Chains A and B, each alone.
Chain A
Amino acid sequence: MGKTLAEKILTLKSGTDARTGDIVISKVDLVFVQDTTGPLTVRQFMESGIKSPAQPGKTILFIDHAAPSPQSALSNDHAFLRQFAEKSGVKLSDAGEGVCHQIVAESYAKPGDVIVGADSHTVTAGGLGAFATGMGSSDVAIAMALGKTWFRVPDAVKVDIRGKFHRGVSSKDLILHLIGKIGADGATYQSLEFSGPAVAGMSMSERLVVSNMAVEAGAKVGLFPSDAVTRDYLAAMGRASDYQALAADPDAQYQKTIEIDLNALEPTVSRPHTVDNTATVTQLKGTRVHQVFIGTCTNGRVEDLALAASILKGKKRHPGTRLVVGPASKAVLLEAIQKGYLSTLIEAGAMILPPGCGACLGLHQGVLANGEVCLSTANRNFKGRMGNPESFIYLASVATAAVSALTGEITDPREVL
């Protein structure tokens, strides 16, 4: 019997014939933490009694969530992480480098890897065919110490994607639509495996958006096959030798198959306060927006800033709508500067944040007032997420966010594009 992508990778990394439902101990290729989960993880690592990390060169501490730090307590956490990196020899990605998941995609993740991160959106690297999943700090501390962890081999759900995106519709709409359809717990404990004729035409940036949000349906991983797109992306990142082709077997067993027809897909928005509370943009047309946030590990890549710049070029944001833009990494920021996207965005009235999580998790750089609405390209709209439980977050694509910044209300990007 053939294997799903999850079964294939865990077979390779556990040295057993890994099948859905099995409990396996898997080798871990990369372990990372970020600055809001890292201090607890490092303390637990120290408490474990194991003296040094199993693979210091494959262990990374990211300072990205509160970067640069907005308060002394967080500055002290950062200092603690820096000291630990120096003592233990693990890698440090300091403030200003960017969001962990973007840097993992750019510089570390390989098809077939097992990656664990103390951050739920570690699933992002599934876009590159890596079995990448978020865990809490105890699990990550032990993975750091032992270079391995245990997994239940997940049931797989096949997402069969066909058709073509219409103009103004993107992979963000695809994943919001899917989560709306199956629910915020629609894939709990499962592996979402994306395949079908449309996948070959999806760029790495588009794949990363989809994998990034797999966890919003409860999934353990969101996996794409590794193919020519993966090969070209790795080559562009200077990592051609990290490529290997990887796909599920044609006779793999899935718990179920979900079909998505891109031709029928409409711009989709998640309403407050859950990601599965979706509607089409048409249904929400006219909703007043006080702040638009374009960025994060979901939609803060060069392709996203390019699209936003193309929509906003020569225009001005609505005077009642703040426009906050956060490039996901230093590499993204540099390229956006070189290509002129940033000056276009700034001329349109955008504020540019340093590379990092920015306003996403409610610590700084764009906290909302009571009753205000943010239209965000991030991945989560939970109550209080952006720092104020009395505010409202809608999630959308970059195209929807950018056109809505011009009108000051939720607007259908197809009217403009």
Chain B
Amino acid sequence: MLKGRAFKFGDNISTDLIVPGRLAGLRSNLPELAKHVLEDADPTFAARVKPGDFVVGGSNFGLGSSREHAPLVIKMAGVSAILAKSVARIFFRNAINQGVPVLICDTDQINEGDSLEVDLAGGIVRDLTSGKTLTFGKIPPVMLSILNEGGLLPYIKKYGDFKL
């Protein structure tokens, strides 16, 4: 069971808003880069987020560049899962490859600061603040097995190849 608070973001949160290109010089210094997580979307996020919290986006979360640094700095901030109405293709794979669950659900039902509880296996998000229960779409089996190993690298280290 994952537990934390909701940090709400709007539609079309691009990878430039998550980790801007102008900070490319920090990409080989991940702890420094991570201090800027989501800076251009909400400059106060990095200081407020606590381990276990959730990033809650709107539609097309993570569009844009293929930089895996985007889900990586979100993971480094201690975020336990990303919830969104829909998510861009490359970001979706990248987040799973980093071992960060991405849950597709109706995030309009969630308010900023709500306490959430996520039951990954059961496919359920409980909003403890509003009392609402949301269901999220199934993660495709191949991605689920990668997620279960904690990401693509641990998966390949274990199996040595893709096992479909």
Binding site for B on A (CB under 8 A): 23, 25, 36-37, 39-40, 44, 47-50, 65-66, 71, 73-74, 76-77, 80, 117-120, 122, 134-139, 141-142, 145-146, 148-150, 152, 184-185, 188-189, 218, 220, 274, 361-363, 367, 380, 382-385, 387-389
Contacts and interface: CB of A to CB of B under 8 A. Distances in A.
Given A139-B94, A185-B88, 20 more contacts: A37-B66, A47-B153, A49-B157, A73-B25, A73-B28, A73-B29, A74-B25, A76-B28, A77-B27, A120-B90, A135-B93, A136-B94, A141-B153, A146-B161, A362-B16, A363-B22, A382-B14, A383-B14, A385-B21, A387-B22
- 5 nearest A-B pairs in the assembled complex, by CB-CB distance: A136-B68, A136-B94, A138-B97, A361-B21, A73-B25
Interface residues of B, number: 44
B40 to A, nearest CB: 5
Contacts of A137: 66, 68, 94
A313 B5 CA distance: 59
Give the most central of B24, B69, B153, B162: most A CB within 10 Å.
B24
B67 A136 contact: yes
24 contacts: A23-B140, A36-B24, A39-B28, A40-B28, A40-B69, A40-B72, A48-B153, A73-B26, A80-B28, A119-B65, A134-B90, A136-B68, A136-B71, A137-B94, A138-B97, A139-B93, A139-B152, A141-B153, A185-B60, A185-B63, A188-B86, A361-B22, A363-B21, A382-B14
B22 A139 contact: no
B89 A189 contact: yes
A218 B60 contact: yes
Most buried by B among A36, A122, A145: A36
B64 interface: yes
B90 A135 contact: yes
Contacts of A50: 156
Contacts, number: 148
Contacts of A136: 66-68, 71, 90, 93-94, 97
B16 A120 contact: no
Nearest to A190: B89
B88 A36 contact: no
A150 to B, nearest CB: 5
Given A185-B59, A361-B21, A36 B67 contact: yes
Contacts of A48: 153, 156-157
Contacts of A119: 65-66
A142 B141 CA distance: 19
A203 to B, nearest CB: 27
Contacts of B17: 382-384
